[in-house]
């Protein structure tokens, strides 16, 4: 019996079974960076505010470099960009503990953190872009819709799981070895697994006949400034605010409880329900449109975060963190699924890195602001900021309804296709 034609094969037939574990572990350095930097600086200096500023510098570097990296990948291919980035990032992470413990000036800490952010490879965004291209290039049309939905759910769940494991690993290494151990571990993971991810054969498969040179046609950058895209950038920024303010306010709260090293472990609990619900989104019916999922799950997030804000004990905070995870995971799945459907032609890597950068920047800026509030006013005041971020994510879901309605009325172009139909972005990824 002859082998099935390429377009009749499943996604995993095209990626190989090694791809998913490599791509998952390649996410961990990015997931560990902000938490690791925050934990190390707070432990070494005793200043939550300086720790927040330093982690903010990581996010600022990420947001500066993210769109440039995405554009370079869309033009040059992932291998040519990710290999040098992974090596440079590994070296900078390895050097950071020496900078912290050498008694360097604060500006040196901030500069080192900025360089770490500038060199962050963002494997999660690259994996999403790679999968979108492979689905569009290599899968048969009857497989695309279901595979796209499941893949976006998996990618978001993988992100959530990485952001669970990342803080847990940081907490374990910091508690049982030393505060510098998480950053050293991230350096090793970046050196080994980001390089392996960059060199994996799927880096070529996603580019179709053009191999590693990128797509034949790339939409102008101004296409990224359309309202349907900008509302997603704003929403991922809000989710990043939620992550950063939650982590830092939780750190301040646990510092008041005399157990700051457990903050990362408690923060990781939030991601358990988040990852499970993110995967569960894949089984939701297509008629449950993404715009309504956004409102539902961000609403759950806002209500649970209100409970977190009002909590005054470790057990109550722990329960609220678990419930918050039930809202944030599916919200992220929805946002990145919408981004896949609204990606301009040949710009899938760019839009994914823009969203990832927006989230990282917001996470770091929120960490800095929350750290300053915690240090000057107290942990109770800092715990209000995650609620602000959650409410903003919900409000932007309402804005998205207006944007979609106007787009449908204005034209029947690709940007106006209902978010639950993934055919348009798949064409955009390969045309």
Using 50, 70 and 90 to split pLDDT, how confident is the model at 387? very high
The pLDDT value given to residue 395: 94
pLDDT tens digits, 266-304: 777 777 767 676 666 666 776 777 888 899 999 999 999
Is pLDDT above 90 for 58?
Answer: no
Query: In this structure, what token pair is assigned to residue 248?
Result: 């830092």
What tens digit of pLDDT does each residue of 114-146 get?
Answer: 899 888 887 877 887 788 778 777 777 777 777
Give the DSSP per-residue string, 39-88.
HHHHHHH--HHHHHHHHHHHHHHHHHHHHHHHHHHHHH-HHHHHHHHHHH
CB 427 within 8 A of CB 136: yes
The whole-number pLDDT of residue 396 equals 93
Q: Is the dihedral of CA 346, 352, 353, 354 positive or negative?
A: positive
Q: Is 72 exposed, middle or buried (0-12, 13-18, 19+ CB in 10 A)?
A: buried
Please name the residue ranges forming H helices in 77-200: 78-101, 106-118, 123-138, 141-176, 181-189, 195-199
pTM, 2 dp: 0.70
Rounded CA gap, 159 and 31, in Å? 8
Question: What region does 122 belong to: left with phi over 0, alpha with psi -120 to 50, or beta?
Answer: left
Query: Which residue, among 196, 221, 171, 213, has the nearest Cα to 68 in the 3D structure?
Result: 221
The beta-carbon contacts of 63-68 under 8 Å, at least 24 apart in sequence, are 63/117, 63/357, 63/358, 63/360, 63/361, 64/117, 64/118, 65/117, 65/118, 65/119, 65/120, 65/357, 66/120, 66/122, 66/125, 66/353, 66/354, 66/356, 66/357, 66/360, 67/350, 67/353, 67/354, 67/357
Distance of CA 54 to the CA centre of its chain: 19
Both tokens of 406, joined, read: 């106007």
Give the model confidence (pLDDT) of 71-109 as tens digits. Answer: 777 777 788 888 888 889 889 998 888 888 887 778 888
CB-based contact 367:56 (threshold 8 Å): yes
**Across residues 150-159, what is the average pLDDT?**
74
**Does the pLDDT of residue 356 top 60, yes or no?**
yes
Q: Is the pLDDT of residue 258 over 60?
A: yes
Instruction: Please indicate whether residue 56 or residue 413 has the higher confidence score (pLDDT).
Output: 56
Domains of the chain, with CATH numbers?
Answer: 16-430 (1.20.1250.20)
What pLDDT, on the 0 to 100 scale, is given for residue 390? 94
Q: How confident is the model at residue 421 (pLDDT cuts 50, 70, 90)?
A: very low
Can you tell me the mean pLDDT for 241-255? 85
Overall average pLDDT of the 44-73 stretch: 78
Cβ neighbors of 381 (< 8 A, separation 6 or more) are 373, 374
Question: Chain-wide mean pLDDT for the chain?
Answer: 77
**pLDDT > 70? residue 2:** no
For residues 230 and 312, which has the higher predicted lDDT (pLDDT)? 230
Which is more confident, 415 or 142? 142
Average pLDDT on 198-218 reads: 57
Residues 234, 396 contacting (CB under 8 angstroms):
yes
Q: pLDDT: is 390 or 402 the higher one?
A: 390
pLDDT in tens, 172-186: 777 778 777 888 888
Say yes or no to pLDDT of 239 above 70: yes
Is the predicted pLDDT of residue 55 greater than 60, yes or no? Answer: yes
Q: Which of 291, 429, 290, 419 is nearest to 350 (CA)?
A: 429
Lowest-pLDDT choice from 111-120, 214-223, 297-306, 334-343: 214-223
pLDDT band at 425 (very low <50, low <70, confident <90, very high): very low
User: Considering only 65-69, 144-148, 199-203, which range has the smallest mean pLDDT?
Assistant: 144-148
Instruction: Say if residue 235's pLDDT is above 60.
Output: yes
Separation between Cα atoms, residue 99 and residue 121, nearest integer Å: 22
Q: Can you tell me the mean pLDDT for 190-216?
A: 66
Structural contact between residues 274 and 246, judged by C-beta atoms closer than 8 angstroms: no
Q: Which pLDDT score, from 0 to 100, does residue 386 have? A: 93
253-262, 268-277, 407-416: range with lowest mean pLDDT: 407-416
Q: Is residue 249 over pLDDT 80?
A: yes
pLDDT of residue 310: 87
Contact by Cβ (8 Å): 323, 386: no
């Amino acid at each position: 019996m002859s082998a099935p034609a390429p377009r009749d094969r499943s996604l995993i037939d095209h990626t190989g079974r090694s791809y998913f574990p490599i791509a998952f572990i390649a996410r961990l350095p990015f997931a560990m960076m902000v938490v690791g930097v925050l934990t190390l600086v707070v432990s070494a200096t005793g200043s939550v505010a300086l720790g927040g500023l330093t982690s903010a510098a990581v996010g600022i570097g990420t947001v500066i470099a993210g769109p440039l990296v995405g554009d370079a990948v869309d033009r040059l291919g992932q291998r040519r960009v990710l290999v040098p980035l992974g090596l440079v990032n590994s070296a900078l992470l390895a050097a950071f503990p020496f900078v912290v413990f050498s008694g360097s000036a604060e500006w040196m800490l901030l500069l080192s953190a900025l360089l770490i952010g500038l060199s962050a490879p963002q494997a999660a965004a690259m994996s999403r872009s790679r999968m979108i291209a492979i689905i569009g290039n290599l899968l048969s049309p009857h497989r695309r819709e279901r595979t796209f939905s499941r893949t976006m759910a998996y990618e978001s769940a993988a992100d959530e799981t990485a952001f669970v494991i990342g803080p847990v690993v940081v907490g374990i290494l910091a508690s049982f070895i030393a505060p510098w151990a998480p950053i050293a571990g991230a350096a090793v993971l970046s050196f080994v697994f980001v390089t392996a991810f960059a060199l994996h054969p799927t880096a070529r498969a996603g580019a179709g006949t053009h191999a590693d040179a990128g797509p034949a046609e790339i939409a102008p950058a101004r296409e990224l400034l359309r309202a349907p895209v900008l509302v997603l950038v704003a929403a991922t920024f809000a989710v990043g605010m939620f992550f950063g303010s939650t982590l830092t306010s939780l750190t301040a709260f646990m510092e008041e409880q005399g157990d700051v090293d457990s903050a990362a472990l408690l923060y990781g609990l939030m991601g358990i329900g988040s990852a499970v619900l993110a995967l569960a989104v894949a089984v939701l019916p297509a008629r449950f449109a993404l715009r309504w999922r956004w409102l539902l799950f961000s609403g759950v997030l806002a209500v649970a975060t209100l409970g977190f804000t009002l909590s005054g004990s470790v057990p109550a905070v722990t329960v609220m963190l678990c419930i918050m995870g039930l809202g944030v995971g599916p919200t992220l799945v929805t946002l990145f699924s919408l981004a896949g459907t609204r990606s301009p032609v040949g710009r899938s890597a760019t839009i994914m890195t823009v969203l990832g950068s927006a989230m990282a920047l917001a996470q770091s800026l929120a960490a800095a602001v929350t750290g300053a509030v915690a240090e000057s006013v107290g942990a109770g005041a800092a715990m209000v900021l995650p609620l602000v971020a959650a409410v903003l994510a919900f409000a932007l879901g309402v804005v998205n309804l207006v944007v979609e309605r106007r787009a449908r009325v204005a034209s029947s172009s690709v940007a106006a296709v209902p978010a639950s139909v993934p055919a348009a972005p798949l064409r955009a990824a390969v045309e």
